[in-house]
């Protein structure tokens, strides 16, 4: 195990860390597969409303590669297909079957045994994963689109931690799943010569208790956000240009892949966390695509529900969890206009700067979903530069992007940006840096496609 | 609800849309957000934002200026008292000083604010908090006896030519307060240059007093002893009990302000430390060159550091992030060269005694170039990702 030296990130300690215990909640009435958390997808529907579906029935595929399926995580009927603006697919909602005593009726896919692994061709495994609805777990840098099956990635980064500080703890996700995890690693070895597995420093001791898992961990990252983000890890590890097109996958998804290949059944179980300031909720076992309101409960206030405070999406309480999402962060709204608020000493105000007394205390802080000020022109203060984990200069890159100078932006390293959101977080002028950068990356990628 | 908030909310309609005073919307917004800190909900990633905003950022610069401001008022009164042949008590000096300094600050703020509101209304942007700093920095660089109309002209030039013509705060490359000061310096050298009119009861028969930088030692005497003989001993210069511009005389107060800015990380320490290093190294080099013992060439680092507006300039002017480089190596070089040029100008061209101001403005112009070079270098070290 090597340490990766990462010095920049979000170091404020927050309240609301979930408890390590795990509970199971009752089966939801509806589940859904969302298209909103799948980057770049151009979905083509394969079902109609009221169609019966089994667990594993493909619901839609990606027009750009029709063999990549997104399958139903439950058995029932298609209750509703929701479209957003410009008829963009939002969710395929499925009402779960009650009659069969909540037993899934699985589509049986082909299986693979451990011994087959060395003899079957890679293309065969690819096909099994695509049909089984899990190929998209592989994401390809730099834009993190679905991995290109014809490309041999120079490395695959497996991340034990999710997109948020309080994403499910790997111990809760991988408990009892080590054998699947190990099988998953052997599958990855068919795709790339170099497999990187990273873990947060503070998780190591509890992971030690999981049999044999630690020996697969290749790198340790510090315990502040977003050191474990595969984009940051790639930036720190890469030595050649080719490595810019590496792949990444989360450990949870790797286990799902292993289960699919070994059992031939689409695995539907997910571990999620629901976090909120000052709460300490247990991890929750539920089904993929569970309704947000089942997890978050009913919220009477103005809180924002997101799937990651820095880089998730904001979700309505009537919607469902996405394929890639395994945490709900409920951020309270503190929208009161304080008299002379800008000059209070601020003992409890979270900040990455040194301008509030709170930076002297180690007590955990609460973040709210307010901007704390209005947008202004960039004053070149460099706060965004000082916090960017991949050593970018967001202020200079957005200047290039806003003047349509994509060449300069790329030279400055635009595509290394992992969209962690920290630059926007820290900017005292409240400039939407991450949004502009993210638009820039997407526009460039779509242009090339 | 707070009654003040009620009043603001109920009068909002006059300033928005087709309200009677809709042209004054920026002024209304500025007043409202100054009193009541705005904090709308986020709508894009990240959904959480830091507590620091530009109002607080700029307020911290104001706080850091309080020691120089308060001492400046006191010292102005004290010097005025000396000019009248009296020695005031602290309170007397403070009140007498206020009579000179407060009107200057008021004129600076109100005239500058007028331009801010005007441009905000024309260009339909919000009034930037940056002006709070400019409006206070500018008067502190002026001698207390400056006619108020010159204050108005200077701040107008600084705000309009130094900032607004480039598109407002964030797009200017010169420090607006310094731009205004330099303009006055070249347009009205009499009231600005080395010969300060020490504030006196009636400015008509004010007494002419030299500043430290305009001292030249008589033949055969060392500059340092000549300085001490004219009241500019090192300790006086350090503490600030000498004639000079309102805010610039006390090295100690500047250092206090600078420390505050460095600890809170509002100013970048690289500029300040780099500048002091540049000044010390250059002045030592000159000190070691034989000859010139009667001029500032031979004053040595301590006198160079404490005299004139160097510490004020490097702490509060050069650290203005908008007109300084945005890269760390750039900041070191920027600071160092300001120190370097300050000494060069003081030594080489006694006509422009206050070298710091020119050095900073000069380096403001080169800041984007320094950044450009540093970024080029940084980019060359990245593994290309295109
Ligand atoms: S540029 Fe901003 S969003 Fe991108 S990696 Fe750096 S801090 Fe994160
Ligand atoms: S943090 Fe904001 S204001 Fe500061 S340099 Fe970056 S973009 Fe500009």
Q: Does B3 touch chain A (CB under 8 A)?
A: no
CB A411 to CB B49 under 8 A?
no
CA distance A193 to chain B (A): 21
Do residues A139 and A258 share a domain? Answer: yes
Picking from A212, A228, A263, the residue at the C-terminal end of a domain is A263
Partner residue facing B266 (CB), from A241, A336, A355:
A355
A274 has a pLDDT exceeding 50: yes
A 10 A CB-CB count for B44 gives 13
Q: Does the beta carbon of B225 lie under 8 angstroms from any beta carbon of chain A? A: no
Q: At what angle do helices B251-263 and B54-83 cross, to 10 degrees?
A: 170
**Cβ contact (<8 Å) for A356 and B51?**
yes
Query: By percentage, how much of chain A surpasses pLDDT 90?
Result: 62
Most ligand 2 atoms within 8 A of CB, residue of A377, A394, A401 to mutate: A394
All residues of chain B having their beta carbon less than 8 Å from the beta carbon of residue A396 are 326, 371, 375
**Is some CB atom of chain B closer than 8 A to the CB atom of A304?**
yes
A376 C-alpha to ligand 2 centroid (Å): 10
A328 neighbors A292 (Cβ within 8 angstroms): yes
Tell me the nearest-neighbour CA distance from B360 into chain A, angstroms. 17
What is the average pLDDT across A11-25?
89
| Pick among A350, A371, A407, A423 to test the B interface (most B CBs inside 10 A) | A371
Q: Is residue A354 part of a domain?
A: no
> What would the pLDDT profile of A319-358 be if each residue is shown by its tens digit?
999 999 999 999 888 776 666 667 777 777 888 888 888 7
Range of the domain at B289: 55-376
Residues A258 and A389 reside in one and the same domain: no
Mean pLDDT highest for which of A143-152, B31-40, B162-171? A143-152
**Helix, coil or strand: residue B188:** coil
Residue B313 domain-assigned? yes
The mean per-residue pLDDT over the stretch B191-204 comes to 44
**Domain count along chain B:** 1
With residues binned 3-state (H G I as helix, E B as strand, rest as coil), the percentages for chain A, rounded to 5, are: 30, 20, 50
- Average pLDDT of chain B is 82
Nearest CA in chain A to B125: A376
A58: containing domain: 2-263
Cβ–ligand 1 distance for A421 under 6 Å, the answer: yes
Q: Does residue A338 sit within a domain? A: no
Q: What are phi and psi of A352, to 5 degrees?
A: -95, -5
* Residues B316, B271: Cα–Cα separation, whole Å: 10
Q: What is the distance between the alpha carbons of residues A315 and A325, in angstroms, rounded to a whole number?
A: 11
* Euclidean distance between CA atoms B88 and B79, whole angstroms: 9
Tens-place pLDDT, residues B339-354:
999 988 888 776 565 7
Number of domains in chain A: 2
For residue A72, pLDDT over 80 is answered with: yes
> Closest chain B residue to A438 measured between Cα atoms?
B45
Chain B residues with CB-CB distance to A351 below 8 A: 50-52
Look at the alpha carbons of B280, B282, B286, B289 in this order and tell me if their dihedral is positive or negative: positive
Give residue B205's pLDDT band: very low, low, confident or very high (50, 70, 90).
Answer: very low
- The pLDDT, as a whole number, for residue B339 is 94
What is the rounded average pLDDT of the residues B146-168?
88
**Among candidate residues B327, B309, B313, the one with its CA nearest the CA of residue B371:** B327
ipTM metric = 0.88
- The CA distance from A218 to B287, in Å, is 58
Between B42, B170, B382, which is nearest A379 by CB?
B170
Among the partner-chain residues B49, B326, B379, the one whose CB lies closest to the CB of A430 is: B49
d(CA B278, CA B274): 6
Q: Which tens digits make up the pLDDT trace of A89-141?
A: 999 999 988 765 667 888 899 998 888 888 888 899 999 999 999 999 999 99
DSSP letter string over B250-304?
A: -HHHHHHHHHHHHHTTSS-HHHHHHHHHHHHHHHHHHHHSSS-TTSGGGSHHHHH
Residue A254 shares a structural domain with residue A380: no
Considering chain A, what is the average pLDDT of its residues? 90
Of the candidates A114, A368, A53, the one whose C-alpha atom is nearest the C-alpha of residue B49 is A368
On whether residue A212 sits in a domain, the answer given is yes
Rounded-to-10 torsion of CA B283, B284, B290, B296:
30
Strand order of the β-sheet with A89-96 is A30-34, A89-96, A76-83, A52-53
pLDDT in the model for residue B303: 82
Within 10 A of A366 (CB to CB), how many other CB atoms are there?
17
* A23 inside domain: yes
Q: Any CB–CB contact under 8 A between B47 and chain A? A: yes
Sheet holding A65-71, edge to edge: A43-45, A58-62, A65-71
- Please report whether residue B315 resides in a domain: yes
CA distance A70 to A62: 8
Do A234 and A382 reside in the same domain of the chain? no
Q: In the listed set A203, A228, A263, which residue is the last one of a domain according to the structure? A: A263
Q: Which of A231, A263, A295 is the last residue of a domain?
A: A263
Cis ω on the peptide bond leading into residue A291 (within 30° of 0)?
no
Contacts of A375 (CB under 8 A, 6+ apart): A429, A430, A431, A432
Residue B386 Cα, gap to closest chain A Cα (Å)? 6
Is A285 within a domain? no
Q: What is the pLDDT of residue B37?
A: 66
Is residue A257 situated within a structural domain? yes
Using the Cβ of A360 and the Cβ atoms of chain B, whether some distance falls under 8 Å is answered with no
Stretch 252-271 of chain A: residues touching chain B, C-beta under 8 Å: none
In the three-class reduction of DSSP (H, G, I as helix; E, B as strand; rest coil), residue B24 is classed as helix
Percent of chain A with pLDDT over 70: 97
Q: Give pLDDT, residue A273.
A: 93
Pocket test for ligand 1, best of A420, A435, A436, A442 (most atoms within 8 A of CB): A420
- Asked whether residue A50 is domain-assigned, the answer is yes
Q: Relative to the CA of A420, which ligand 1 atom is closest? A: 8
The distance of B375 to chain A (nearest Cα, Å) reads 8
Geometric angle at alpha carbon A71, from A70 and A73, rounded to 5°: 130
Tokens of B258: 């600078």
**Residue B241: inside a domain, yes or no?**
yes
For residue B57, give the nearest of A280, A143, A436, A377 by alpha carbon. A377
Q: How many CB atoms lie within 10 A of CB A365?
A: 19
A422 in contact with ligand 1, CB cutoff 6 A: yes
> What is the C-alpha separation between B112 and B151, in angstroms, rounded?
10
Tokens at residue A159, please? 């991340």
**B199 vs B386 pLDDT, higher one:** B386
Listed residue (B219, B215, B199) closest to B207, CA to CA: B199
Res B12 pLDDT > 50? yes
Contacts of B215 (CB under 8 A, 6+ apart): B223, B226, B227, B230, B232
Q: Is the pLDDT assigned to residue B150 strictly greater than 80?
A: yes
Q: Which of B36, B51, B264 sits opposite A349 (nearest CB)?
A: B51
Report which ligand 2 atom has the smallest distance to the Cα of A433.
Answer: 7
Residues paired with residue A230 on neighbouring β-strands, in sequence order: none
Least confident interval from A312-321, B6-15, B116-125: B6-15
φ/ψ of residue B293, rounded to 5: -70, -10
Residue B199 clears pLDDT 50, i.e. is over it: no
A301 touches chain B (CB under 8 A): no
Ligand 1 test: best mutation among A224, A233, A236, A421, most atoms within 8 Å of CB?
A421
Tell which residue, A397, A353, A346, has the closest CA to residue B54. A353
Per-residue pLDDT of A415-448, as tens digits, reads 999 999 999 999 999 999 999 999 999 999 988 8
Joined tokens for residue A313: 């999406």
Mean pLDDT computed over A247-271: 94
pLDDT confidence of residue B35: 66
Assess B376–A contact: CB distance below 8 Å, yes or no. Answer: no
Asked if A309 lies within 8 A of B48 by C-beta distance, the reply is yes
Looking at per-residue pLDDT, the higher value among A291 and B230 belongs to: A291
Alpha-carbon A123 to chain mean position = 26
Residue A245 lies in a domain: yes
């Amino acid at each position: 195990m090597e340490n990766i030296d990462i010095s920049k990130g979000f170091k404020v300690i927050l309240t609301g860390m979930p408890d390590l215990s795990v509970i199971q909640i009752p089966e939801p009435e509806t589940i859904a597969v969302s298209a909103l958390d799948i980057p770049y997808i151009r979905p083509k529907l394969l079902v109609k409303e009221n169609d019966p579906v089994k667990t594993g029935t493909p619901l839609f595929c990606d027009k750009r590669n029709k063999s990549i399926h997104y399958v139903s995580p439950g058995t029932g009927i298609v209750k509703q297909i929701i479209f957003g603006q410009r008829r963009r697919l939002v969710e395929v909602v499925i009402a779960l079957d009650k009659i069969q005593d909540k037993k899934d009726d699985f589509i049986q896919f082909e299986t693979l045994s451990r011994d087959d692994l060395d003899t079957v061709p890679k293309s065969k495994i690819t096909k099994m994963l695509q049909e089984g609805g899990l190929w998209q777990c592989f994401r390809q840098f730099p834009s993190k689109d679905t991995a290109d099956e014809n490309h041999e990635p120079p490395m695959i980064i497996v991340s034990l931690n999710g997109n948020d500080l309080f994403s499910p703890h790997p111990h809760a996700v991988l408990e009892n799943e080590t054998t699947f995890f190990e099988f998953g690693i052997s599958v990855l070895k068919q795709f790339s010569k170099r497999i990187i597995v990273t873990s947060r420093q503070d998780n190591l001791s509890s992971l030690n208790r999981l049999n044999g898992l630690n020996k697969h961990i290749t790198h340790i990252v510090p315990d502040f956000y977003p050191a474990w983000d595969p984009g940051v890890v790639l930036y720190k590890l890469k030595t050649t240009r080719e490595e810019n097109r590496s792949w990444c996958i989360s450990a949870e998804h790797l286990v799902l892949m292993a289960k699919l290949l070994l059992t031939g059944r689409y695995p539907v179980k997910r571990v999620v966390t629901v976090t909120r300031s000052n709460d300490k909720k247990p991890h929750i076992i539920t089904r993929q695509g569970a309704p947000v309101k089942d997890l978050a409960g009913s919220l009477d206030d103005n809180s924002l529900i997101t799937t990651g405070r820095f880089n998730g999406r904001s979700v309505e309480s009537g919607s469902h969890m996405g394929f890639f999402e395994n945490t709900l962060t409920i951020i309270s709204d503190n929208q009161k206009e304080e008299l002379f608020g800008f000059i209070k000493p601020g003992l409890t105000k979270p900040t990455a700067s040194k301008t509030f007394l709170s930076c002297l205390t180690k007590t955990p802080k609460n973040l709210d979903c307010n901007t704390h000020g209005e947008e202004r022109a960039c004053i070149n203060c460099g706060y965004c530069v000082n916090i960017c984990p991949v050593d970018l200069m967001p202020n200079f890159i957005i200047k290039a992007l806003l003047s349509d100078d994509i060449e300069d932006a790329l030279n400055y390293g635009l595509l290394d940006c992992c969209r962690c959101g920290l630059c926007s977080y820290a900017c005292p002028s409240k400039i939407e840096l991450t949004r502009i950068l993210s638009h820039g990356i997407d526009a460039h990628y779509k242009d090339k496609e | 609800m707070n009654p003040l908030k009620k009043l603001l909310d109920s009068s909002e309609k006059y300033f928005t849309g087709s309200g009677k005073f809709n042209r004054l919307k920026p002024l209304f917004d500025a007043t409202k957000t100054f009193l009541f800190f705005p904090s709308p909900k986020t709508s894009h990633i990240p959904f959480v934002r830091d507590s620091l905003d530009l109002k607080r950022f700029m307020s911290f610069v104001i706080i850091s200026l309080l020691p120089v401001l308060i001492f400046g008022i006191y010292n102005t009164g004290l010097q005025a008292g000396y000019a009248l042949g009296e020695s005031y008590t602290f309170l007397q000096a403070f009140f007498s000083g206020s009579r000179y300094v407060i009107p200057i600050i008021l004129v600076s703020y109100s005239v500058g604010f007028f331009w801010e509101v005007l441009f905000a209304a024309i260009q339909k942007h919000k009034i930037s908090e940056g002006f709070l700093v400019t409006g206070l920095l500018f008067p502190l660089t002026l001698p207390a006896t400056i006619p108020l109309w010159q204050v108005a002209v200077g701040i107008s030039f600084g705000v309009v030519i130094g900032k607004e013509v480039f598109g407002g705060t964030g797009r200017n490359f010169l420090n607006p307060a310094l731009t205004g000061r330099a303009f006055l310096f070249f347009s009205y050298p009499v009231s600005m240059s080395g010969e300060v009119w020490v504030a006196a009861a009636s400015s008509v028969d004010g007494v002419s007093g030299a500043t430290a930088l305009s001292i030249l030692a008589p033949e055969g005497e060392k500059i340092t002893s000549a300085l001490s003989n004219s009241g500019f001993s090192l300790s006086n210069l350090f503490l600030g009990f000498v004639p000079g511009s309102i805010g610039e005389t006390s090295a100690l107060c500047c250092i206090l302000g600078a420390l505050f800015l460095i600890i809170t990380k509002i100013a970048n320490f690289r500029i300040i430390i780099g500048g002091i290093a540049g000044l010390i190294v250059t002045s030592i080099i000159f000190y070691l060159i034989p000859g010139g013992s009667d001029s500032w060439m031979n004053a040595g680092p301590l006198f160079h550091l404490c005299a004139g507006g160097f510490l004020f300039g490097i702490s509060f002017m050069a650290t203005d992030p908008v007109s300084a480089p945005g890269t760390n190596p750039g900041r070191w070089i920027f600071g160092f060269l300001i120190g370097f040029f300050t000494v060069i100008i003081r030594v080489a061209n006694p006509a422009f005694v206050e070298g710091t101001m020119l050095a900073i403005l000069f380096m403001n112009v080169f800041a984007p170039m320094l950044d450009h070079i540093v970024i080029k270098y940084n980019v060359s070290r990245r593994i290309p990702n295109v």
